[in-house]
Amino acid sequence: MSSKTAKQDKALVVDSLAMRFGGLLAIKSMTFHVNEGEVLGLIGPNGAGKTTAFNAITGYLRPSEGSISYRGSSLVGLKPNEIADLGVVRTFQKTSVFGGQSAFDNVLMGLHRRQKQNALEIIFALPSVAAEERRMRDKAHEILDFVGLDGRAGELGSALPYGEQRLLEVAVALAAQPSLLLLDEPVSGMNPSETSSFMNIMGEIRKLGITVLLVEHDMRMVMGVSDRVIVLNHGSIIADGSPSQIQKNPEVIRAYLGDRYDKAKSGSKGKKRAQG
Amino acid sequence: MNRALEIAFVVFLASVPFWLGNLYYLHILVTTGIFIIAAMSLNLLLGYTGQLSLGHVAFFGIGAYTSALVSLGFDLSITENYTFVLEPKPVWFAFLCGIVLAAICGWLIGRISFKVRGAYFVIVTISFAEVVRLVALNWIDLTEGPMALNNIPPFTFSIPGLWELTFYKKEPNYWLVLALCVVSFVIIRRLVNSRAGRAMIALRENEPLATSVGVDVTKYLVLATIVSAGMAGAAGGLYTHYVRIVDPDVFLFIYTVTMVIMVITGGKGTLAGPIVGGLIFGILPEVLREFAAPEVQWMIYGVLMILIVYFLPAGIIPALSQWWQRRSQSHEQVTQGAAE
């Protein structure tokens, strides 16, 4: 790695981002950054503006004010696919797969960005196209294997159980070769054991050198995988620090964690007891 | 195995003129084949990208008129003292011009209408077809309007100085249509099994997800429209040099509807769907003609269509392949059970 991508380099920089829908102020002023190679957890109560921020970063919404840049280039005004071309790839809060296609084809579709073939080459069936197809099929199996779904390659996306659909979603996003992956509540709806195995996958994703911005309500998960956590409340960032700092921050506890985190703790104890 | 079956099927189709023995039946097969090409082109849009083009006949007609005009030659007074004169060109060149112009129109329609999709695309395509029909009807200097363009030369095939064949007869036209059917089928199959086709299907299935992994919506929808329009233009060119007369009625809405019916009953988004649908609804009217009054024919036609759509909503091909899968699965279970 060059010195440019040293540990503390900023990958994504969001500066005074504001989002208004008519008279509704969804995000007041949001300033934060994601360092290269880190896993940043973004938490906050429902309606705090987390998903709105995701939509603004990935081009599904146009910011009312402020700037967003990734590795020095501005993302404001770009289309989602252009942002994906810069390596910023997201998943969706509401489960989103290509339901009518097999899990394998889902990942093949996700591999779009890694392929070079153009329409004329396809129509004349150049040998390079066939070679690329073979490579992509291997790659698709590799990615399904990575998230533990290779045994399900032939199943329709919509026929998979909920937890596996969420894994498939991550597989599709990974197929798009992200350098920054934005995960919007990836474990919502998963049971505790699925969540644990997803945390392992997060560890593997980190090993690939992919920077991650994670929105999640499951505190055990966020605190377990994040290097740094930022807290969003009423459209502003109210805290920024390591998971242990955030857990002790009185303002955070007051605003949001309080009872929820206690519940999460007792929940995990309960599980341990059950396992014992 | 599959490849061998396909080749056998094409060889069988190629052998039809040798044993059919009835030129009228062969004529029906030629027109059906032309419609199947048009239906396949529509399927690329409707079936794979999910966009309904209800003006698809416009591309067919543009191909037909362009090919006819370029092969006949025309003169067009642009200003008082300047007249553009086009000498008659060889038919193959005219045919290519028809494809290219139809594809350019497809590009144009795609560019302007894919900003707003769904119902808006339907409306834009219908309007486009109607506008083109009115132009063909009223630009009498160029198109002869309702008097129609006559004496359009048929296809010729020649090895310069050695041998020349003009396609006056039905048989060579049949083989030509069959060959273009095969070419269109292969092009569409290559496209849909490639990066481009997967991008189109991804857009149909889940557009936000498709764009999030880097699929450029406009690019792939426009690509589908260009290929689709060019192919429909080729079908129009085949038609014009086969029947050798073309009038503004080629733009009638009923032809678009026929193509849509062929695609939907056969199975949209399947490769074989438009072929099966095209064969059924291309040949059916002629079969019915033998023992039913014209009004009754149309009623049977309509009832059959409703029955197919009602009982096989996904179309004939998906229903067949589902049935086949279930059969082979239960067969496997039976053999497994026996082994245990």
What are the residue ranges spanned by the domains of chain A?
3-96+176-275, 98-159
Q: Is the overall model pTM greater than 0.90, yes or no?
A: no
| Number of domains composing chain B | 1
Q: Helices B294-311 & B273-289, crossing angle to 10 degrees?
A: 150
B189 falls within a domain: yes
B151 falls within a domain: yes
CA distance A38 to chain B (A): 21
B10 falls within a domain: no
B5 falls within a domain: no
pLDDT, tens digit, for every residue of B266-305? 988 899 999 999 998 888 888 888 777 778 877 887 888 8
B12 falls within a domain: no
pLDDT, tens digit, for every residue of A96-120? 899 889 999 999 999 998 888 888 8
Q: Does B276 touch chain A (CB under 8 A)?
A: no
Instruction: Provide mean pLDDT across the span A159-179.
Output: 91
Q: Which residue of chain B is at minimal alpha-carbon distance from A95?
A: B209
Q: What residues of chain B lie within 8 A of the CB of A89, using their CB?
A: 212-214
B8 falls within a domain: no
B23 falls within a domain: yes
| The predicted structure's pLDDT at residue A70 | 93
Q: Does B210 touch chain A (CB under 8 A)?
A: yes
B11 falls within a domain: no
What DSSP character marks residue B231?
H
Q: Do B170 and B27 form a contact (C-beta atoms < 8 A)?
A: yes
**CATH no. for residue B70?**
1.10.3470
- Inter-chain CB proximity B202 and A90 less than 8 Å: no
Q: Which of A123, A181, A182, A184 is the mutation pick for testing B, counting most B CBs within 10 A?
A: A123
| The predicted structure's pLDDT at residue B213 | 92
Question: Exposed, middle or buried: residue A98 (CB in 10 Å: 0-12, 13-18, 19+)?
Answer: buried
| Angle formed at CA B109 by CA B105 and CA B110, multiple of 5 degrees | 115
- Select A3-96+176-275's CATH number: 2.60.40.1180, 3.40.50.10380, 3.40.50.300, 3.30.390.10: 3.40.50.300
**Averaged confidence pLDDT in chain B:** 87
Domain that holds residue B44: 18-339
Q: What residues of chain A lie within 8 A of the CB of B199, using their CB?
A: 109, 112
Q: DSSP of A206-245, one letter per residue?
A: HHTT-EEEEE-S-HHHHHHH-SEEEEEETTEEEEEE-HHH
* 3-class secondary structure, B120: helix
Q: Which residue of chain A is at minimal alpha-carbon distance from B195?
A: A112
- pLDDT above 70 covers a percentage of chain B that reads 96
What whole-number distance in Å separates Cα of residue A100 and Cα of residue B88?
Answer: 50
In the structure, what pLDDT confidence band is assigned to residue B263 with cuts at 50, 70 and 90? very high
